[in-house]
Amino acid sequence: MHQIRAFHHASLLVADTVQALGFYRDLLGLQVDEGRPDLGYPGAWLQVGGCQIHLLELPNPDPVTGRPAHGGRDRHLALLVGELDGLAKRLEEAGVPYTQSRSGRRALFCRDPDGNALELIELPEG
């Protein structure tokens, strides 16, 4: 039997790659993998440790409105961050609303410009 060994990437649908990069690269600080081949549609690959997020600029079959206000009650991508307070301040300054995790851990939920939910969990270095 074949065993699953690791997580490689998650894909997110976006309406505008440039706008999405403003969020993921410029606000969250993820690095773009310049090795993305021409796939016939715009997008970007972003490095998250040894894994990636693939941004796909394709039509979205899912509703982007009417999603739960708290991203923890929706499909979401969870990312580990080294320091949550500074990131929360950056989100506030950028006008990105967020909610605190209801689990009691140091985490928050926000949405990207396309309504994709993210959970940002503090895992301090050390």
* Distance (Å, whole) CA 100 – CA 119: 9
The residue whose two tokens read 């016939």 is 40
Beta-carbon count within 10 A of 32 CB:
14
**Consecutive 10-residue averages of pLDDT for the chain (126 residues):** 90 98 98 97 97 97 90 95 95 97 94 96 83
Q: What is the pLDDT of residue 126?
A: 64
Instruction: Domains for the chain: give ranges and CATH numbers.
Output: 9-57 (3.10.180.10), 71-122 (3.10.180.10)
Q: What is the pLDDT of residue 1?
A: 76
**Quick check: pTM over 0.95?**
no
Q: What is the pLDDT of residue 65?
A: 87
Q: Which own/partner pairs from 63-70 qualify as long-range (CB within 8 Å, at least 24 positions apart)?
A: 64/114, 64/115, 65/115, 67/111, 67/115, 67/117, 69/99, 70/99, 70/102, 70/109
